[in-house]
């Protein structure tokens, strides 16, 4: 029996290998689609986090336990790392710090603003810029050495054998004239015999002898005596030989100085040649401390400067010395300058070869004269600075004449030291030849400020320009502030040139007193008004690109000289007139450009004088103009009337003026003091 058959399909059945291929194609398409969708989702999430649409905690407004809602954390060393939560930098593993609130937005080109909460977390601290006198403390490590001027070599004057050494070990102390050694010398004995024989022969010659024979014998006698001196015999030894007439083959060597035997070079029984050294003796009552300073530090040190020394073998004990020598050359190998300090050592506690730490206190800003109470008005030895006397005389050591301490720049009276600007050294960020600080100009606003550094002290830095006294500079958290500047593409430590080239603040015109001028009657008032009119003639000449004439300059000078002694004027007003007379001199003998620069000081003094006093009979107002287009600045001037005539620009910009004020006619006259008949 046949089985029932299935109904036929609509079409012919596809081959099985085609069905398998379609299945795998559909599977691959689904996989690729899922992969693309996943990648797109990851990109969208990253963009959302970067633009702040969502946070890593899954919300946009909740507190994640970090720095508060919306807080951003960054790495001070890698500011491109920005995360919404605290943690560590994935590059250097440093703890992340809160970023600024404005992210260093472009609204402030040279500063960033840091919110109080972020500032506390970042531990940003400030300190004021101080203006005061400071001193630089130079520190160096040196070696104690023997004073070469107090060192002597005891050598044999004659060849022979050492029979006796009285100073028979190194370190023995001797005094001047002590016996040191006995030398047996046949040569010395022969010379003594020659001397005694020539002496006897000279004595036997009677007056009847030929004069030529006697002169010859005298020369032989003198020559024999001189050979004894050259062989080391002293005057006392020669006198003894003459008295006794006994020749000796042994000679005693005496010490020419007191001191310590630092080296014994021979032993008893040893033969020596003439000139061979036997002892090295040094007077250790004074020793040297040899220092090496960098050239920039050595220029601050001068002869006689006080030095505080602490010896390594005497901890806690301070010794005072004075600079005896500063080398005039720089060592090519070490690039340092040798400095020698003289130390008194009466007790012998300072041992040559020991190390010591020296400190020199140098007041900054004093280049010509400094004040030292111990040297004021005194006289000092040019070779031994420890020898200081109240009166001129001779050095007891070297015999040189004492010189005045003023020769080495020491003032006889106290000298006021100039004040300099100093900031904590931590406030300065340095890279290469660039140094900068961050100044808090407003609460939370930190502005980059390139500065010019002076000497660096131990904990402070001297600032020559870039900040003013009283400004607050960041001393902690500087690098975090700098990283925020980098994030905002603003000038920073790695790109300071834009801050260095920053356009300076716009110059302001000369500020005049608010009160109007006082009226001066009589001849003084007339001379004041004539001075202002003569000054206006100078302005007109410069405005026409011409030098003033001789008559114009001499008129201003003579009127200013007269007003400099006028009694109705105050002392400060007379000083303004005197300065005007000084500055206007030779104005017409200079090139036009230099004359215009010199004219600025004349204008300043005349402006200040006119704002304070005018003549009682003054008829017209004076107009104060200022031009900020003059490259060198300080372009103030005074005119009797308009229109504007710029004396500093001339025909180039004749009408250029950005400021204008009026000095009116005085209304309250003050009569001159009556003169005595």
Residues 522 and 659 in one domain: yes
Q: What percent of the chain has pLDDT over 90?
A: 26
566 within a domain of the structure (yes/no): yes
Q: Is 259 helix (H, G, I), strand (E, B) or coil?
A: strand
Residues 652 and 522 in one domain: yes
Residues 178 and 236 in one domain: yes
Higher pLDDT: 128 or 365? It is 128
**What is the tens place of the pLDDT at every residue in 304-320?**
989 999 998 888 888 99
Rounded Cα–Cα distance for residues 436 and 427 (Å): 8
For residue 534, what are the domain limits? 518-670
Domain end (from 282, 307, 335)? 282
Rounded Cα–Cα distance for residues 200 and 217 (Å): 10
Residues 490 and 624 in one domain: no
Higher pLDDT: 446 or 80? It is 446
Higher pLDDT: 109 or 407? It is 407
488 within a domain of the structure (yes/no): yes
Domain end (from 282, 307, 341)? 282
Give Cβ neighbours of residue 279 (< 8 Å, ≥ 6 apart): 153, 154, 167, 180, 181, 261, 263, 264, 265
**What is the tens place of the pLDDT at every residue in 451-484?**
998 888 888 999 988 898 889 999 998 888 888 8
Task: Round to the nearest angstrom and report the end-to-end CA distance of the chain.
Answer: 172
Residues 522 and 494 in one domain: no
Average confidence (pLDDT) over 421-428: 93
Residues 666 and 522 in one domain: yes
Residues 233 and 184 in one domain: yes
Rounded Cα–Cα distance for residues 272 and 155 (Å): 9
Average confidence (pLDDT) over 367-396: 86
pLDDT at 576 over 70: yes
Residues 633 and 522 in one domain: yes
**What is the tens place of the pLDDT at every residue in 6-18?**
445 444 555 555 5
The domain total for the chain is 3
Rounded Cα–Cα distance for residues 136 and 154 (Å): 45
458 within a domain of the structure (yes/no): yes
489 within a domain of the structure (yes/no): yes
Residues 474 and 532 in one domain: no
Instruction: Work out the pLDDT band at 59, boundaries 50, 70, 90.
Output: very low
Rounded Cα–Cα distance for residues 346 and 674 (Å): 75
Q: What percent of the chain has pLDDT over 70?
A: 86
Residues 169 and 248 in one domain: yes
321 within a domain of the structure (yes/no): no
pLDDT at site 546: 92
Instruction: Work out the pLDDT band at 206, boundaries 50, 70, 90.
Output: low
- For position 205, which CATH number holds? 2.40.50.100
Higher pLDDT: 556 or 586? It is 556
Query: Is the backbone peptide bond immediately before 245 cis, with ω within 30 degrees of 0?
Result: no
**What is the tens place of the pLDDT at every residue in 141-159?**
999 999 988 888 888 888 8
Number of residues that make up the chain: 677
- For position 426, which CATH number holds? 2.40.420.20
Instruction: Work out the pLDDT band at 425, boundaries 50, 70, 90.
Output: very high
Average confidence (pLDDT) over 177-200: 85
Residue 363 DSSP class: E
52 within a domain of the structure (yes/no): no
Q: What pTM did the predictor assign?
A: 0.53
pLDDT at site 65: 38
In this structure, are residues 627 and 656 in contact, taking their beta carbons and an 8 Å threshold?
yes
Residues 455 and 585 in one domain: no
pLDDT at site 95: 82
Domain end (from 500, 526, 558)? 500
Residues 537 and 601 in one domain: yes
193 within a domain of the structure (yes/no): yes
591 within a domain of the structure (yes/no): yes
């Amino acid at each position: 029996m046949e089985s029932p058959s299935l109904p036929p399909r609509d079409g012919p059945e596809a081959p099985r290998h085609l069905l398998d291929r379609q299945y795998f194609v559909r599977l691959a398409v689904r996989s690729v689609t899922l992969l693309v969708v996943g990648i797109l989702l990851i990109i969208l999430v990253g963009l959302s986090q970067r633009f702040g649409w969502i946070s890593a905690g899954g919300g946009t407004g909740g507190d994640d336990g970090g720095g508060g809602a919306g807080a951003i954390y960054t790495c001070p060393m890698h500011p491109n790392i920005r995360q919404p939560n605290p943690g560590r930098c994935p590059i250097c593993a440093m703890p992340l710090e809160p970023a600024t609130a404005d992210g260093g937005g472009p609204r402030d080109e040279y500063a960033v603003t840091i919110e109080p909460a972020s500032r506390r977390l970042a531990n940003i601290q400030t300190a004021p810029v101080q203006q005061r006198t400071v001193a630089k403390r130079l520190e160096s490590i040196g070696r104690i050495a023997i004073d070469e001027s107090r060192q002597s070599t005891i050598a044999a004057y004659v060849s022979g054998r050492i029979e006796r050494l009285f100073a028979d070990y190194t370190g023995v102390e001797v005094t001047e004239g002590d016996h040191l050694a006995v030398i047996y010398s046949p040569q010395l004995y022969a010379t003594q015999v020659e001397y005694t024989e020539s002496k006897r022969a000279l004595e036997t010659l009677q007056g009847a002898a030929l004069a030529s024979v006697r002169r010859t014998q005298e020369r032989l006698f003198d020559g024999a005596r001189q050979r004894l001196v050259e062989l080391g015999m002293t005057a006392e030894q020669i006198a003894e030989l003459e008295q006794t007439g006994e020749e000796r083959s042994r000679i005693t060597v005496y010490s020419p100085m007191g001191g310590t035997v630092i080296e014994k070079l021979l032993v008893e029984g040893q033969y020596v040649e003439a000139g061979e050294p036997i002892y090295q003796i040094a007077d250790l009552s004074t020793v040297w401390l040899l220092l090496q300073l960098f050239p920039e530090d050595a220029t601050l040190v001068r002869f006689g400067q006080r030095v505080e020394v602490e010896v390594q073998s005497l901890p806690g004990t301070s010794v005072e010395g004075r600079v005896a020598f500063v080398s005039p050359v720089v060592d090519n190998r070490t690039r340092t300058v040798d400095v020698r300090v003289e130390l008194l050592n009466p007790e012998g506690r300072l041992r040559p070869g020991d190390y010591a730490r020296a400190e020199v206190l140098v007041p900054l800003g004093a280049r010509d004269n400094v004040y030292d109470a111990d040297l004021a008005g005194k006289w000092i030895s040019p070779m031994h600075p420890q020898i200081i006397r109240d009166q001129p005389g001779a050095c007891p050591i070297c015999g040189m004449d004492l010189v005045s301490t003023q020769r080495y720049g020491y003032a006889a009276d106290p000298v006021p030291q100039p004040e300099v600007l100093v900031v904590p050294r931590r406030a300065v960020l340095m890279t290469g030849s660039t140094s900068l600080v961050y100044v808090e100009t407003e609460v939370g606003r930190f502005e980059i400020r390139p500065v010019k550094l002076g000497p660096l002290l131990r904990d402070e830095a001297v600032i020559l320009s870039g900040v003013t006294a009283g400004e607050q500079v960041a001393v902690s958290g500087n690098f975090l502030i700098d990283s925020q500047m980098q994030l905002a593409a603003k000038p920073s430590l790695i790109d300071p040139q834009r801050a260095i080239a920053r356009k300076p603040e716009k110059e302001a015109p000369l500020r005049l007193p608010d009160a109007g001028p006082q009226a001066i009657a009589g001849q003084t008032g007339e001379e004041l008004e004539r001075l202002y009119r003569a000054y206006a003639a100078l302005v007109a000449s410069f405005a026409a690109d011409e030098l003033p004439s001789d008559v114009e300059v001499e008129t201003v000078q003579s009127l200013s000289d007269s007003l400099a002694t006028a009694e109705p004027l105050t002392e400060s007003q007379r000083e303004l007139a005197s300065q005007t007379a000084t500055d206007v001199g030779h104005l017409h003998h200079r090139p036009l450009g230099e004359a215009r620069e010199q004219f600025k000081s004349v204008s300043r003094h005349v402006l200040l004088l006119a704002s304070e006093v005018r003549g009682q009979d003054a008829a017209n107002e004076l107009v104060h103009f200022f031009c900020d287009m003059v490259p060198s600045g300080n372009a103030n001037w005074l005119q009797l009337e308009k229109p504007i005539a710029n004396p500093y620009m001339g025909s180039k910009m004749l009408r250029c003026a950005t400021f204008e004020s009026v000095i009116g006619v005085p209304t309250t006259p003050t009569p001159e003091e009556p003169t005595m008949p």
